[in-house]
Every structure is written in structure tokens, then in C-alpha cells.
Amino acid sequence: MTIKPLRKAVFPVAGLGTRFLPATKAMPKEMLTVVDKPLIQYAVEEALEAGIEQIIFVTGRGKSALEDHFDISYELEATMKARGKSLSLIENIRQKPGSPVYVRQQEPLGLGHAVWCAREIVGDEPFAVLLPDELMVGGFMKQMVEAYNKVGGNLIGALEVPAEETDKYGIITPGKIDGRLTEVLEVIEKPKQGTAKSNLMTPGRYILQPEVMKILDNPVKGAGGEIQLTDAMAQLIGKQPFHGFTFDGQRYDCGDKAGFIQANLALALARDDIGSVVRAFAKELLA
């Protein structure tokens, strides 16, 4: 079996972020900061750490701040140089010329549709999908790429959740288990309470073969009346190798207000520069 190398990653960032209004009225939700970095930067750094070479953003109207964030800022850099300040923090953000590609999703028709919008750039190569709302600490995509290079096919992230929460996520029906790899027999998007075949959810990290784009060429609306990526992936099961990969690290659901606050607190406490101050404040507040 020939395993094609993984070079491209798709970031669906066209969502309106209505759960975070009014903060997201004029600012993309992906630019909300956890401590001092926007969510999208965490996701991009995760992909680059995994060896991804080309970043593909599927954007929508009002998302120009995303493009500006990964571009050169002449006025800012000139001012910082004149004041003798280090440019390391913003130089690290820049992407190689031609590496970031921006594609417009004109209608909010679901995750499957957003991924399909990147089909011309993905071409006939395998590709990763990272949802920036899901903040992973511990190099999840790097771990997934290492597993993909051994087994090939399709690989999706897997995390255990309480049984009472399975109706909120895409849930894996498991087959054979080999360490952190689980054979995927089925993926069901938001199964009704009490019907899930496991408590393994898919936390917004995928490595997919290009054939999924052909399925999305003729989409069928699924849960919520949207074009679901989960439904398209399900048609590849049994035709191509398909595994879930359990993450060894921390996940924060930053599409949820409580999860977003938890991420800020956890990452702030882990910082050498501010951790002790935040910890002392938290103890005082909770007391």
C-alpha cells in the first residue's frame, strides 16, 4: 500500500460565531484570544508542527482580519524596530509567500460544504482538516500524522466523552482496537440520546483521502439540515482504511463560552511569565 504524504490542511473559518456575540459582531470568532494568541494561530501552529506545508483557509464575509494576522504588518514592524523591540512574536506568525490560500464559502451550508469549497486546491492529495474552535494542547495533529504514515487511509481524532453527551457530537462505532488506533465501522452525527454505539467522539481533527470530495460533489443534507462531513466520510468506510486515533493531551471546546474560559485559565496557569500571578488570584477568588 502506497501512502501519499500529507502536505495540505483545510481550516473551515467561515462561521459567524453567534454564540460569542457581541464579541464576534465585527471580529472573526477564530481571532478570539486564549491568553495572547488567537484560536486560529494555535490551530495553524499545530498543523505546521505536524509538517503541513500548505494552509487552506475557507473563509466568509468579514474575515479579513484572519488574512491580516498572517501577513506582514509594515507599520507595526517599523514602529517596533524604531523602539528597539523584538519582532520574534510577529515574525513567527508569517507564512511563506503562497503558502496560505483563501477560499470563500459563500453560504453557511455546513462543515461538509466548507471542506468541499477547498476541492480545487486539495486536488488528488490527502489532506487534514482542523477546526480552530477545538483547541488541542499536546500536538494532536503531529501524533495523527505519525499514525497516518503507518496505516494510511482515513484517520479521525477520537476522544472519550460522558455517555450523556454523545448526542452533541459525531460518534464512532468501533471495531478492532490496536493501542490508540480504533477501527471505524461507522460514524453517526449527533445520535439520539441512548443510541450511540460508543462514547468516542470526533473532536475536529481529520486526515482524509481526496475521494471524500467526490462524495461531497453530490451532497445530501444531514443533521441540522446541513451538509455534514460526517455523512460523506461514512461512505468511505469499508472502501478505504478508516481509523480513529485517540488523543494523548488536553482538549478545550472553545466554541463554548465555558470551554473558552477554561482554556484561558489552564493555559495561563501553565505560563512561566504569568502563571503564579493567575494562580494566586484564582485561589483568592475561590476562597
Gap between the Cα atoms of 27 and 22, Å rounded:
9
> 3-state DSSP helix/strand/coil percent for the chain, to nearest 5?
35, 25, 40
Q: For 227, which DSSP code?
A: B
Average pLDDT score over residue span 2-21: 91
- Decide if pLDDT at 146 tops 90: yes
Residues in contact with 199: Cβ distance below 8 Å, sequence separation at least 6, in sequence order: 160, 161, 162, 163, 166, 171
Q: Measured on CA atoms in the order 37, 43, 44, 49, is the torsion positive or negative? A: positive
Residue 225: pLDDT band with limits 50, 70, 90: low
Class of domain 8-255 (CATH, top level): alpha beta
| Residue 152 cell numbers, joined | 494510511
pLDDT digits (tens, 9 = 90+) for 102-130: 999 888 778 889 999 999 999 999 999 99
Q: Which helix (H) or strand (E) holds 122?
A: helix 119-122
Which of 16-20, 135-139, 241-245 shows the lowest mean pLDDT across its residues?
A: 16-20
**38-83 tens-digit pLDDT:** 999 999 999 999 999 999 999 988 888 988 888 888 888 888 888 8
Residue 6 φ/ψ, nearest 5 degrees? -95, 115
Comma-separated ranges of CATH 3.90.550.10 domains in the chain: 8-255
Mean pLDDT over 240-245 rounds to 93
The partner residues of 243 in beta bridges, in order of sequence, read 155, 183
Q: What is the mean pLDDT of residues 21-35?
A: 93
Overall average pLDDT of the 177-204 stretch: 88
Which single residue is written with the C-alpha cell 443510541?
195
**In the structure grid, which three cell numbers stand for residue 39, read together?**
484560536
Query: pTM, whole model, 2 decimals?
Result: 0.90
Which neighbouring-strand residues pair with 242? 154
pLDDT of 88 strictly over 80: no
Query: Is the separation of the CB atoms in 227 and 113 below 8 Å?
Result: yes
Which neighbouring-strand residues pair with 203? none
E strands of 74-215, at which residues?
A: 100-104, 127-130, 134-137, 154-160, 170-178, 181-189, 200-201, 205-208
Roughly what angle, to the nearest 10 degrees, separates helices 39-49 and 140-151?
A: 40
